[in-house]
Amino acid sequence: MNFICNNFFGVIIFFMKFLILLFLEVLMVSAVLGKELYTYKLPNGAHLIVKRRDDTEAVALHVWFKVGSIYENYQEKGMAHFLEHMLFNGSEKYPYGEIDKLVESMGGNINAGTSKEYTFYHIEIAKPYWKPALEILYQLTQKPLLSEDMIEKEKPIVIEELRRGKDNPSTVLWEEFEKLAYKVSPYRFPIIGYEETIRNFTRDALLRFYRNFYQPKNMYVVVVGDVDPQEVKEEVSKTFGREEGRPVERPQVPPEPEQMEARFKKIEDSRLEKAYWIIGWRVPPIGSKEYYALVVLDQILGGGRTSLLYRELKEKGLVYSVYTGDLARPQDNMYVISATLDPEKYKQVKERLKEILTNLSKELTEEEIKKAKERIINSEIFSQEKVSSDAYYIGYSITVVGLLDYYKYFENNIRSVRKQDVIRVLENYLQKEIYNEVLMLPKK
């Protein structure tokens, strides 16, 4: 899949599952191309997923939390992202700066990310060091100091990050698009928040937010590599498994009301030399039955240099660049097409895009469907060679989609897509005259 924003996304393969009982916990084992996937639910509510792989000496360790900007009230806007910064500012065991040095000394990599639906922390490291890496992630996410002085130190850093984002036309374009597309849904708010909310963060408010979301009943630990699943479970039980699981107070995310007409917004920016354009339609949520046909359609429209839009828009000189993709959201999902172009070509490009989408219903062939599915599956298999990507797809599947089945049966679901499924999605969504559109032009 081709994604236009920060978000990910696309997933993978697999079949077969067994269910057995183990020490009052549920253990599920799935055959995955000769590899095994184990899931455990610990007594405190934490979930552990281990994928055993004997084809690599690298191990990926991820900790996912179902918290992002859509779960914040207005006073909390930017808090999920701010906490991601804060957790690297010292823990009970490791003082400020020690974690990065320690991971680097073991030859590993540590990082984190915050989205609208999730926050995750991850380490990729050589097999002999996975246990100390697990301890680091435990300290990082469960034992942070969140000291008052570090909170005040971090505020100007995050505000400067926010201001730098405003200097990027692509960021401005994207934020304006989401404000246009979402009138009720919290997806309309930026992940980083606002300068006024960040300045007003207090330690008490951060602690309340942290204690509610950074706890076992809102946690998914993912480990991928040549490891013994039972040994991983024992180590996780001694760390994350010791924490108290509490009910999560999660606000309801209101669905966006049905859109009844097209929306358009024009922006002028003196920094630009060419036009930036984005258009998007509401489409089925990630993991739904129709979603897999959308993935195949996206591959046909925007999947690389052989794609339809690349040939018809880029190669024919109508645009400088063109990107496509859905936002992989569990509700109020959007499919977007974005391009950079000469301002005077805007009307021509939009009209040509409309012709392409209209004609595709009649021109689409079985061979194109077959090739698109093969490219998707081959791309996913290739991406899975990295333990980091493998762990990410597992974490995204269970945390955001809410089902490991999305990860396990992605290939089967793609293979089952038929020509009529793709045409149905095309006609029901992308051929509709109900869309959201933002055009950013150079200011003369």
- In a domain, residue 257? The reply is no
Whether residue 285 sits in one domain with residue 235 = no
Q: Which pairs with CB-CB distance under 8 Å and at least 24 residues apart come from 373-377?
A: 373/296, 373/299, 373/414, 373/415, 373/417, 375/299, 375/303, 375/304, 376/1, 376/10, 376/295, 376/296, 376/299, 376/303, 376/414, 377/13, 377/411, 377/414, 377/415
Residues 349, 267 within the same domain? yes
- Strands in 436-442's sheet, in edge-to-edge order, are 263-269, 436-442, 275-282, 334-341, 321-326
Q: Cα 378 vs. chain centroid, distance in angstroms? A: 21
pLDDT value, residue 35: 54
Task: Please give the pLDDT value at position 36.
Answer: 78
Q: What is the pLDDT of residue 355?
A: 98
Query: Which residues, listed in sequence order, are joined to residue 263 by a DSSP beta bridge?
Result: 436
Round to whole Å and give the CA distance between 365 and 369.
Answer: 7
Which residues form the domain of 42?
Answer: 17-242
Please check whether residue 2 lies inside any domain of the structure.
Answer: no
Q: Judge whether 53 lies within some domain.
A: yes
Do residue 341 and residue 196 come from a single domain?
no
Are 293 and 220 part of one and the same domain?
no
Same-domain check for residues 98 and 33: yes
Residues lower than pLDDT 70 in the chain:
1-35
Say if 247 falls within a structural domain.
Answer: no
Q: Are residues 364 and 290 in the same domain?
A: yes
**Is 253 inside any structural domain?**
no
- How much of the chain is in helix, strand and coil states, percent to nearest 5? 45, 20, 35
Q: Rounding to the nearest 10 degrees, give the CA dihedral for residues 354, 357, 358, 362.
A: 160
Tokens of 155: 């505020």
Check which CATH number belongs to the domain holding 288 and give it: 3.30.830.10
Provide the domain count of the chain.
2
Output the pLDDT for position 444: 77
Is residue 286 domain-shared with residue 167, that is, in the same domain?
A: no
Distance between CA 54 and CA 30 in Å, rounded? 16
Q: Residue 258: inside a domain, yes or no?
A: no
User: What does the alpha-carbon distance between residue 413 and residue 49 come to, in Å, rounded to a whole number?
Assistant: 22
Q: Mind spelling out the 3-state secondary structure of 374-402?
A: HHHHHHHHHHCCCHHHHHHHHHHHHHHHC
- DSSP-assigned letters across all residues of 147-206: -HHHHHHHHHHHHHHHHHHHT-HHHHHHHHHHHHH-SSSGGGS-TT--HHHHHT--HHHH
Residues 160 and 68 in one domain: yes
b/e per residue 256-280 (b: at least 16 CB within 10 A): beebeeeeeeeeeeeebebbbbbbb
Q: Are residues 238 and 269 located together in one domain of the fold?
A: no
Residues 227 and 297 in one domain: no
